[in-house]
Amino acid sequence: MTAANIKVSETPLVLYALRRADDALILGHRLSEWCGHAPAMEEDMALANMGLDLLGQARELYAYAAKVEGRDNDEDKFAYLRDVRQYRNLLLLEQPNGDFARTMVRQFFYAAFADLYWRAMMKSSDPTLAAIAAKSEKESAYHIRHSSEWIVRLGDGTEESHRRAQLAIDDLWAYTGEMFAVDDSERGLIDAGIAIDPGTLKAQWQKTMTSVVNEATLALPKSDWMQQGGRSGRHSEHLGHLLSELQSLQRTFPGATW
Amino acid sequence: MYTQALNSSDGDDRGIEDAARAAAFQARIDDDERIEPNDWMPAAYRKTLTRQISQHAHSEIVGMLPEGNWITRAPSLRRKAALLAKVQDECGHGLYLYAAAETLGTSREELVDLMLSGKAKYSSIFNYPTLTWADIGTIGWLVDGAAIMNQIPLCRCSYGPYARAMIRVCKEESFHQRQGFEIMVTLCRGTEEQKAMAQDALNRWWWPVLMMFGPPDKVSQHSDTSTKWKIKRFSNDELRQKFVDATVPQAQFLGLTIPDPGMTQNESGNWVYSEIDWAEFNQVLAGNGPCNRERLAARRKAHDDGAWVREAAAAYAEKRKARLLAQAAE
């Protein structure tokens, strides 16, 4: 192994697995940044717990991408030896933690999607993806419960928590559209029954948004402008800093085993 | 929860009554009975245990910081997951221990405030910085190793809730210790740079780890009554010696050198180590270790920055309760 970026043969299926693996890794990494700094010990445990679930999902998806690709890449090469332009995660998930409201809103937006997504993916004609989905679905069910409860507590808590939760919703909303986007490489997998069309989940996701946000006495933004780019490696400026931290040891000591 | 109230007696009888109770209490301890939260206990026993258990809890929580410092930089996904899981376990240990301390009548919030204000201590070891990845292996191997030496005897401590918490904690700690040692094995079988990183970490952590067992027996202020009450079953120096004897062969297996060139084995097989720098230990306890300020500042910041979240949760719970009551009244 050298410290240079690896080459990846991004066939549609490899790319598909990498996109979901990157989602899980980057969000898991963000949650792990909270460790020791959360507002309550119980929440320290919960954030680490969700982070660990996501790291586990990432590892399974990377392993599958490596198997499908059939070169000598593996989970660590995918995670540690690709740069910003090779990462394929959603822009939403690389957004900084900010305050606790921002972290929970990001979690809520994604978990509400992931929960529907993994449940639907259990019917994938690809047995590995279906198996990963069956495991991930149990975890995302917990993540959506935990994060939606916090959205309600924060929204319907104090004036201060209401203000912060609303601000986070307004700021992060434009990153939600990317979850439902489909490009040509995914279209073929959808037609083959390997992937599900995320567009079919949007109405249900929107329903969860509306009911939880209403219960929280908060409001969804009117704007429907949506940022895109993560899936093709056009990221926000935040990801580079995240990766420089994540990858520092592998980059400093090329070829070492840890 | 305030069981202290159960212990008060009125007027002139108190002295005689307490003397009789104290004797009965000591007889139970001598019979190896477990003391439970509602049992009578001497005020000093309650105080000593509250201090010890809460400091133990604080150590778990502050101890999340030096290792947490490397979660985002762990060199492989497997190591990253293991480290995150470990730090999460430590938080869980903190929660068990605060719960055990609360059975003695002081709330977690009060105990945490004492730590944040610097009035209550936590283990001296967590005031040292984690400078390289090898420090994470060394902490697992040595710091958790030392913690296990200290905690195994506590599984038989006279106070039931503490002893039971320790049984659960020790199971996870020994797993962490093996993980840490495995990191060291990997580094020591790795490149020259990795091996040097491992040696450097051992050099920096060895003496602070020996200090974890506390001051030498001749100056330890809590030992006499703690031993009489079976809170403590071995002296600081006995446990420290046990740790050194167990660790030297592990260092040899790794091909690492313990930074104590004068070490020799005596005729009974014990490794005789050099004098510990107690001046450094006292400085660290007094707040002047390399990271004391950062550790407390990080915990205070988490506490202060999280205040609005805790207030929101409390306000929401109140509103919900009021709504449910209103509904029930309809």
Chain B contact for A49 (CB, 8 A cutoff): yes
* Interface residue B289 vs chain A (CB under 8 A): no
Give how far A30 is from chain B: nearest CA, Å: 9
Taking contacts as CB-CB distances below 8 angstroms, the residues of chain A near B190 are 256-258
Nearest to A36 among B87, B305, B316 (CB): B87
Summarize pLDDT for A62-97 with one digit per residue, the tens.
999 999 999 999 999 999 999 999 999 999 999 999
C-alpha B213/C-alpha B59 separation (Å) is 14
pLDDT tens-digit map of A174-227: 999 999 999 999 999 999 999 999 999 999 999 999 999 999 999 999 988 999
Q: Running DSSP on this structure, what letter comes out for residue A6?
A: P
Give pLDDT, residue B223.
73
Instruction: Tell me how close the Cα of A201 comes to any Cα of chain B, in angstroms.
Output: 30
Shortest Cα distance, chain A CAs vs residue B60, angstroms = 10
Q: Specify the pLDDT at position B8.
A: 44
Residue that has been written with the tokens 């091996």 in this structure: B195
pLDDT-derived band at A3, boundaries 50, 70, 90: low
Q: Which two three-digit tokens encode residue A239?
A: 């990801």
Nearest CA in chain A to B299: A37
Q: Please, is A197 exposed, middle or buried when counting C-beta atoms within 10 Å of its C-beta (0-12, 13-18, 19+)? A: middle
Q: Do A245 and B73 touch (CB under 8 A)?
A: yes
Q: What interface predicted TM-score (ipTM) does this complex get?
A: 0.96
Give the one of B133, B307, B312 whose C-beta lies nearest to A157's C-beta.
Answer: B312
**pTM of the predicted structure, to 2 decimals:** 0.95
Q: What is the pLDDT of residue A224?
A: 87
Round the average pLDDT of chain A to a whole number and report it.
97
pLDDT at A150 over 80: yes
What residues contact residue A204 under an 8 Å CB cut-off, 6+ apart?
A: A116
Contact A212, A231 (CB under 8 A): no
Q: In the predicted model, is pLDDT for residue A2 greater than 80?
A: no
- The alpha-carbon gap from A188 to the nearest alpha carbon of chain B, in Å, equals 31
**First-to-final CA distance of chain B:** 34
pLDDT, average across residues A52-57:
98
A149 touches chain B (CB under 8 A): no
Cβ neighbourhood burial of B205 (10 Å; 0-12, 13-18, 19+): buried
User: Quick one: CA dihedral B177, B178, B181, B182, positive or negative?
Assistant: negative
Q: Which of residues 173-232 of A touch B (CB under 8 A)?
A: none
H helix runs in B139-289, sequence order: 144-151, 160-188, 192-211, 223-228, 236-254, 278-283
Q: Which residues contact A197 (CB under 8 A, 6 or more apart)?
A: A182, A190
- What stretch of H or E contains B63? none
Q: State the 10-residue block means of pLDDT for chain B, 330 residues long.
A: 44 72 96 97 96 97 97 98 96 97 97 96 97 98 96 96 96 95 98 98 98 91 85 95 98 98 94 97 95 97 98 97 92
Q: Is B2 on the interface with A (CB under 8 A)?
A: no
Number of A:B CB contacts under 8 A?
Answer: 137
